[in-house]
Structure 1
Amino acid sequence: MSNLVVVKKKIGKFKKTITVPGDKSLSIRWVLFASLSNGTSKAKNLLMSEDVLAALEAIKKLGIKIIVNKKECKVFGKGIDGYKFKKKLVLDAQNSGTLGRLILGLLVNSTEPIKLIGDKSLSKRDFKRVTDPLSKFGVKFKLRNRNFLPLKIYGSHSLKPIKYNENKGSAQCKSAIIFAAMRTNGTTIIKAKKSRNHTELLCKYLKLPISIKSSKNFDKIKIKKVKKINSLNYNIPSDISSSAFFIVLTALSNKSELVIKNVNVNPSRIGIITILKKMGIKIIFKNQKIYKGEKKADIKVLGAKNIKAINCPPKLNSGAIDEFLVIFLVAAKAKGVSYFRNLDELNQKESPRLKWAEKILTNLGVKTITTNDSIKIYGNPNLNLDLDKKITIKNYLKDHRVFMTSLIAALSFGGKWTIHDKDSINTSFPNFLKIIEDLKK
């Protein structure tokens, strides 16, 4: 079976309503919280991607029973101290930075050394940003070349609370510290640069001993030892990061209209909405509700005729970090020069995404000026490729977002595209191509 996709023509105008799968960040966090709870937790609309399946497999190896069927997933939690730490235990985070980094916070009291491994891509990503703060609790680590997977964690029985300044805006780092603090006597204090706050919202919903004071750029988070976590039944809202590809496809398709149902629109995640609205894209939230601490809504998007360039405020970066690749496609069709800066975090993802943005835009014939942490995009409102213009996308470390962005570019701007490694989407969005086909009908 071929592992590539060939796109030979642009998408026609469409007017559709779609549903995308459950939010990946919430799905993985639900698995971890459920594994620590007292009793049975059930989830509907759990994202059944490789990253989430890896999370389920990891807690299974820690002695937690799981039952999965088409309708729901059940996790039979054994309490905050319910993990079984077997000898020579190896946990595989596969491609998931969220799982790999967060689960370390839950292993800080392990009674046996545990080895954490990942795939080729994850093994190139920085784990020191998490092991450094976790070491302050009294945990020991051995990492490959001091930064990378595979690593070994040596848990401690005399964990001590810490004070930590998290200044990268990494939700994964912040969450790992929160999970470790749950196992620690005393109060841990984190001064965290603004980033997605799903872990804190779940802690608050579950009435765990956490307090948060927000200022303009930072949150001050205090966490005390957790004695008990109640079971958590959760109907997981749809993923804004997955929705982003269809939002952009619609925006770039004049006279098209799309509604995406029941999407997680947590304010820390909707940087893409704010940015696209500033660029003149019409986006409306309908049926807004608060569900277990998270905001959700139906998102309506209209195709845009005139797109404005943007000098993107860096304060919006953390809320759009996973969506910048597709945002850059909108900038490619804007009138004027768009400028995005302070984006070094983009190169800490599954692939060096800023470099891949430059490659994709260059293939489109769009001029860019790229540095290690910024990109200027010289937009062309009449951007349209010749039918016989051939573009090949491959060797991108199987980064799912590079694959999906390339496909959106092909459908939006034309040309003849050959995009390799379509199985890369299995990490986050297995039915992406099926939804694309539904939009083309």
Structure 2
Amino acid sequence: MSAHGIPIPMMSYPCGPIKGEACIPGDKSISHRSLILGALAIGETRISGLLEGDDVLDTAEAMRAFGAEVTDLGGGEWSVHGVGVGGFCEPDNIIDCGNSGTGVRLIMGAMATSAITATFTGDASLNSRPMARVTDPIALFGAQSIGRTGGRLPMTIIGAVDPVPIRYVVPMPSAQVKSAVLLAGLNVPGKTVVVEKEATRDHTERMLVGFGAEVTVEDTLEGRVITLTGQPELRPQTILVPRDPSSAAFPVCAALITEGSDVLVPNIGLNPTRAGLFATLREMGADLTFENEREEGGEPVADLRSRFSPHLKGIDVDSNRAASMIDEYPILSVVAAFAEGSTVMKGVKELRVKESDRIDAMATGLRKNGVDVDEGEDWWIVHGRGHSNVRGGAICESHLDHRIAMSFMVMGMATQNPVGLDDGSPIATSFPIFERLMSSLGADLKRSKP
């Protein structure tokens, strides 16, 4: 059960072609960062197209708790009157980040170098996830953390009174960790340096520059070196949030595996640190094209057209691409089930510590529905059965994970028998219109009684 509702059992039935235009909600990563950086600017930031899912709404509420004025103007339009870098006040109550690892980790970073104390919690899934990957680097600034065994939430962060700049080499490919360190560095005199051996999504760096921070990025033999000059006065911005490529993955992939389908997904963000799935699908033989390619707000965007592709082939996915598609492996595994041959995915140990252990969750559900899967600590292989040969017929567990839930709902659209889900409520965290949108395209999704 999610922190924001009761369990919602669901069924996905085999359906005819899905066709039409899929208008996806705003990008979740950019929505989180827009609210946080807007709260750290002085003046009013206006945001259009904000994702109004539970995760982002929890971040909006957190920014209010730290003293920013955050107003929902309706229709995806939001206003944030910021308090400036170093201007966060101490929250009166515990900050509940629901299901959002991005939200809690970025907010911890943003407040870690202010002389305030805040306590964070979340739902059962978030409270089981590792926080040491953020609390370790913010400790170098001078912050303290007190949490449950294993560095888990609920956790209290005591901000540094006299923070010092740091140079931090990110030990794993994680945009959340990188971003938390950069946000912490905003309120520190001098230069904070982050080194990532493997490039991850760069929305934070792009947005910091847009808000007026001094940020340099250099590719070196050591890796990608990001240098932030601390204590800037951030300027409020007008932000148009592009539509989320991670959410777009679901109608795109549904069209590829459902006979006769043709779906247009307009205005999707194609930041190169986020577009790995689409390159992978094309390598598998997907009929996927980019139309009207352009740039909006410093981010590349395009309209995606996805058509039924009956001759998908299993491939060895480039492990160097993992960071650019880490959230898309669950739905990729569904497409792989309908491909001919085996799809090999390596270098994906981060999937073990997402909202759920995504390798285990997807492997278990795929096996229940007649698909063979091999797995190891940081790899897995889906042995495809080809178009129309996936049996289906089983009830899968979402494990409080929105991407697991949506992946199995897409799977049921093309299996021989319906696919069930124990709880679809987590879908609201990132894609609150998923059911309505997919049904409008022709999917047959139904809620069932608990």
| TM bin (shorter chain) | over 0.9
Pair 1:305-2:307 in alignment: no
Pick closer, same or farther for the CA change 1:218–1:2 going to 2, 3 Å. closer
Report what 1:28 is aligned to.
32
Contact 1:14-1:257 at 8 Å conserved across structures = yes
The percentage of counterpart residues that share the same residue type is: 28
Structure 2 residue identity aligned to 1:162: I
User: Gapped runs of 5+ residues in structure 1?
Assistant: none
Partner of 2:105: 101
- Counting matched residue pairs gives 436
Quote how far apart the aligned CAs of 1:189 are.
1.3
Distance 1:142 1:308 in 2: 49
- Hey, what does 1:4 align to over in structure 2? 9
Task: Using the TM superposition, give the Cα deviation of residue 146 of structure 1 relative to its aligned residue in structure 2, in angstroms.
Answer: 4.2
1:90 correspondence with 2:94: yes
Q: CA deviation at 1:346?
A: 0.3
- Structure 2, unaligned stretches of length 5 or more? 1-5, 444-450
Q: Distance in 1 between matches of 2:323 and 2:237?
A: 28
After TM superposition, give the deviation of residue 106 of structure 1 in Å. Answer: 1.3
Question: What residue is the counterpart of 1:391 in the other structure?
Answer: 394
1:203 corresponding residue in structure 2 = 208
- Give 2:385's aligned residue: 380
The reply on whether 1:250 has 2:255 as its aligned counterpart is yes
| 8 Å Cα contact 2:337-2:390 kept in structure 1 | no
How far residue 215 of structure 1 moved from its aligned partner, in angstroms, is 4.8
State the TM-score, normalized to the length of structure 2: 0.93
- Alpha-carbon distance in structure 2 between the residues aligned to 1:230 and 1:244: 33
Partner in structure 2 of residue 371 of structure 1: 376
Per-residue CA distance 1:16-39 (angstroms, 9 max, x = gap): 112110000000000001101111
- Partners of 1:273 and 1:197 lie apart in 2 by 18
Deviation at 1:357, TM superposition (A): 1.5
- TM-align CA RMSD: 1.7
For 2:394, give the aligned amino acid: I
Offset from partner CA, 1:157-187 (integer Å, 9 cap, x none): 2111111111311000000000011111111
The correspondence of residues 291-302 of structure 1 with structure 2, limited to 5 A, is 291-302=296-307
CA contact (8 A) 2:167 2:194 kept: yes
Match of 1:416 in 2: 418
Amino acid at match of 1:126: P
**1:126 partner SS:** coil
* CA distance in 1 between partners of 2:64 and 2:212 (Å): 26
**Pairing 1:282–2:287 present:** yes
**How far apart are 1:217 and its partner, in Å?**
8.3
Tell me how far 1:82 sits from its aligned partner: 2.5
Aligned counterpart, 2:447 = none
Distance 2:31 2:7 in 1: 30
The structure-2 alpha-carbon separation of the partners of 1:2 and 1:64, relative to structure 1 and needing over 3 Å to count, comes to closer
Looking at structure 2, the residues matched to 218 and 269 of structure 1 have their Cα atoms a distance apart, in angstroms, of 18
- How far apart, in 2, do the equivalents of 1:84 and 1:14 lie? 49
TM-score scaled to structure 1, two decimals?
0.95
**In the alignment, does 2:242 pair up with 1:237?**
yes
Q: CA deviation at 1:439?
A: 0.8
Match of 1:173, SS? Answer: helix
Distance 1:154-1:97 versus aligned 2 partners, 3 A rule: same
SS of residue in 1 equivalent to 2:228: strand
Displacement after TM superposition at 1:2 (Å): 7.9
Moved more, 251-260 or 426-435: 251-260
User: Which range moves more in the overlay, 231-240 or 209-218?
Assistant: 209-218
Provide the residue aligned with 1:117 in structure 2.
121
Q: Is the 8 A contact 1:403 1:425 kept in 2?
A: yes
Give the equivalent residue in structure 1 for 2:190.
186
Q: Is the 8 A contact 1:89 1:113 kept in 2?
A: no
Q: Which residue is equivalent to 1:319?
A: 324
The CA distance in 1 between the partners of 2:242 and 2:284, in whole Å, is: 27
